[in-house]
Amino acid sequence: MSNPESTSATTLHNSRFLKACRREPVDTTPIWIMRQAGRYLPEYMAVRSKVSFIELCKRPDLAAEVTLTAQKVLGVDAAILFADLLPILEPMGLDLEYAKGEGPIIHNPLRTAAEVDRIVEVPDMASLSFVFETVKLVRRDLPADIPLIGFAGAPFTLASYVIEGAGSKNYMATKRLMHSDTGAWQALMERLVSSLVRYLQEQIAAGCQAVQLFDSWAGCLSPTDYRQYVFPYTKAVIDGLPPGVPVINFLTGNPALLRLCRETGGDVIGLDWRVKLSDGWRAVGQDRGVQGNLDPALLLADMKTLRQRTRGVLDAAGGRPGHIFNLGHGVMPETDPEQVKALVQYVHDRGVRR
């Protein structure tokens, strides 16, 4: 008599998405969409209209609902946990608010190196239990062949929020501290690393089959600064995760950093639209998978153009095992959900089968 848990684990292991993470042949190119549960979906907005964004993040029942609905409605090959990069900063000593029309704001940012000691490692992961409970609820109700992706912000991106207090165009406050006091920078980054490793380990233990590390802001750095100030810490996070769980390492905004990004680790390297997929794959090496890399703006184009450019990405991948189709960043709120559904169907229909 077969063990249901063993059968389920085997089904997940042999899923299209996880096989691609391992660079194994698949029947067609797998696809999921960054920010696939978002404001462009009416099903998401129906839930979001009842609660604030942060309440949605902290309500496991609602966060699980929008995670599951997006996967089902779009027909994608993986679900990604509905959560946000920044709530991990609250137990570290930051006063976080999601202001309407302005995005996240930290009211007590780190302004000087002398203040670094008020930023602490997350004392107890129980303070983030709403995330892990969401993972459990989603995994319970996801189809047996659909993996769940957990995620976190990379150390540099989180450090930039801690220092800037909000989004930034030039990251001057972050770079000032980074260059002026390497000891303070190291202390901050090490506390972030320790917290992130534990946070992602807990997501995996709760039921995630893979994780993605988002370095959304590191593209503002030169290769020299990335090597010195970011590389050791991102690598430490990835090295601290359980072997056998695929890691997607996603850095956006600067193709010049791709070779360094590869060196930090990850089974799959995320590519944005600023590089041709074949060139990006060459930069990170054939021994890694790649994810991407359609410009999200193309979902606002006519169907002929969308299909043409999607085919261009698939052709650039060349049918090699290890390609996961995605956007080069998150889907935009203005996007027609029917376009996203059509993209998923087109990739499944035209993905190169090997």
Assigned token pair, 286: 């054939």
Tell me what pLDDT residue 214 has: 97
Q: Catalytic site residue 140?
A: no
Helix (H, G, I), strand (E, B) or coil at 287: coil
Residue-wise pLDDT for 211-252, tens only, equals 999 999 999 999 999 999 999 999 999 999 999 999 999 999
Select 4-350's CATH number: 1.10.10.10, 2.40.340.10, 3.40.50.1950, 3.20.20.210. 3.20.20.210
CB 153 within 8 A of CB 216: yes
Assigned token pair, 86: 């920044």
Among residues 35, 139, 191, 288, the one annotated as catalytic is 35
Tell me what pLDDT residue 167 has: 87
Among residues 40, 44, 161, 233, the one annotated as catalytic is 161
What confidence tier does 352 reach under pLDDT thresholds 50, 70, 90?
Answer: low
Query: What single DSSP character describes residue 242?
Result: P
Mean of pLDDT values over 307-329: 96
Tell me what pLDDT residue 263 has: 97
Q: 1 pLDDT exceeds 70?
A: no
pTM of the model: 0.96
Among residues 22, 39, 320, 354, the one annotated as catalytic is 39
Closest CA to 158 of 83, 100, 230: 230
Query: What single DSSP character describes residue 20?
Result: H
Tell me what pLDDT residue 354 has: 47
Q: 154 pLDDT exceeds 90?
A: yes
Mean of pLDDT values over 43-70: 97
Q: Which residue has the higher pLDDT, 99 or 285?
A: 285
Backbone angles phi, psi at 207, to 5 degrees: 140, 15
Q: Catalytic site residue 267?
A: no
Cα 269 from Cα 158, distance rounded (Å)? 19
Cα 110 from Cα 119, distance rounded (Å)? 8
Share of the chain above pLDDT 70, in %: 97
Among residues 23, 40, 77, 84, the one annotated as catalytic is 84
What confidence tier does 194 reach under pLDDT thresholds 50, 70, 90?
Answer: very high
CB 317 within 8 A of CB 283: no
Kind and range of the H or E run holding 227: helix 223-229
Cα 64 from Cα 235, distance rounded (Å)? 30
What does the domain layout of the chain look like in residue ranges? 4-350
Q: What is the DSSP pairing of strand 148-153 with strand 210-215?
A: parallel
Tell me what pLDDT residue 5 has: 64
Helix (H, G, I), strand (E, B) or coil at 330: coil
Query: What single DSSP character describes residue 325?
Result: B
Amino acid (one-letter) located at 354: R
Q: Catalytic site residue 48?
A: yes
Closest CA to 69 of 82, 58, 57, 60: 82
Mean of pLDDT values over 201-211: 98
Question: How far, rounded to the nearest angstrom, does the alpha carbon of residue 236 sit from its chain's CA centroid?
Answer: 17
Cα 79 from Cα 68, distance rounded (Å)? 7
Cα 28 from Cα 350, distance rounded (Å)? 8
CB 131 within 8 A of CB 83: yes
Tell me what pLDDT residue 8 has: 78
Amino acid (one-letter) located at 179: H
What confidence tier does 137 reach under pLDDT thresholds 50, 70, 90?
Answer: very high
What confidence tier does 313 reach under pLDDT thresholds 50, 70, 90?
Answer: very high
Tell me what pLDDT residue 193 has: 98
Tell me what pLDDT residue 2 has: 47
Helix (H, G, I), strand (E, B) or coil at 230: coil
Among residues 23, 48, 139, 288, the one annotated as catalytic is 48
Cα 133 from Cα 327, distance rounded (Å)? 28
CB 328 within 8 A of CB 296: yes
Tell me what pLDDT residue 169 has: 86
Angle at 245 between CA 242 and CA 250, to 5 degrees: 105
Tell me what pLDDT residue 353 has: 59
Tell me what pLDDT residue 7 has: 62
Assigned token pair, 37: 């549960």
Backbone angles phi, psi at 153, to 5 degrees: -75, 145
Q: At what angle do helices 231-239 and 155-164 cross, to 10 degrees?
A: 120
CB 171 within 8 A of CB 220: yes
Residue-wise pLDDT for 247-306, tens only, equals 999 999 999 999 999 999 999 999 999 999 999 999 999 999 999 999 999 999 999 999
Contact partners, residue 122, CB within 8 Å, separation at least 6 = 88, 91, 92, 128, 195, 198, 199
Tell me what pLDDT residue 3 has: 53
CB 246 within 8 A of CB 18: yes
Cα 22 from Cα 13, distance rounded (Å)? 10
